[in-house]
Each structure stands twice: as structure tokens, then as C-alpha cells.
């Protein structure tokens, strides 16, 4: 289970290697300045996933009546019971 760790800027300067290792292990490392959160130390991810538009084309089907809402549902939303 990951842990959340708060350290000051001074502590972070002195313990950067150890804090980096903790971040890689899944701990959330928050660096504080004047008692308030200032920076989050996160592991680097080499290549973010690129979005590919249309990758689900042909896999999603919409029923012919998808835009028709039954009257009882409309009445429920509008408060007409």
C-alpha cells in the first residue's frame, strides 16, 4: 500500500535520492514550502499513450431509438410524478 509523505524543501534537497526511490515504489511524495504543498515528486513515464481517434469505429452500436426518452423518465426529472 502506498504512503503519503510530506517533506520540506530543505529535507528534499538533503534526501532527493531516497525520496525518488520512495516515489518509484508508489509512495506519494509532497514537498512543502512554508507548511503548504508546493511540489509533487512523481516517477517519469517515458512515452505517454497517444490518442488514436476512431480506434473503436465499428465496435459501438447505437440503437435506433437512443435519442427518444420515455415520458415517465422525463416526468421524473421534471418533478411531475
Tens digits of per-residue pLDDT, 31-80?
999 999 999 999 988 887 788 899 889 999 888 988 898 888 888 888 87
Give the pLDDT band (50/70/90) at residue 2: confident
Distance CA 49, CA 2 (A): 24
Give me the residue spans of the domains in the chain.
4-41
Helix, strand, or coil (residue 71):
helix
**pLDDT tops 90 at residue 10:** yes
Distance CA 41, CA 28 (A): 7
Q: Which residue has the higher pLDDT, 81 or 55?
A: 55
Helix, strand, or coil (residue 22):
helix
Amino acid at each position: 500500500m502506498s504512503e503519503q509523505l510530506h517533506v520540506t524543501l530543505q529535507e528534499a534537497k538533503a534526501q532527493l535520492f531516497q525520496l525518488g526511490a520512495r516515489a518509484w515504489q508508489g509512495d506519494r511524495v509532497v514537498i512543502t514550502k512554508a507548511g503548504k504543498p508546493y511540489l509533487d515528486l512523481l516517477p517519469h513515464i517515458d512515452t505517454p499513450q497517444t490518442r488514436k481517434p476512431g480506434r473503436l469505429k465499428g465496435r459501438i452500436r447505437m440503437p435506433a431509438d437512443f435519442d427518444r426518452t420515455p415520458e415517465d423518465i422525463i416526468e421524473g426529472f421534471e418533478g411531475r410524478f
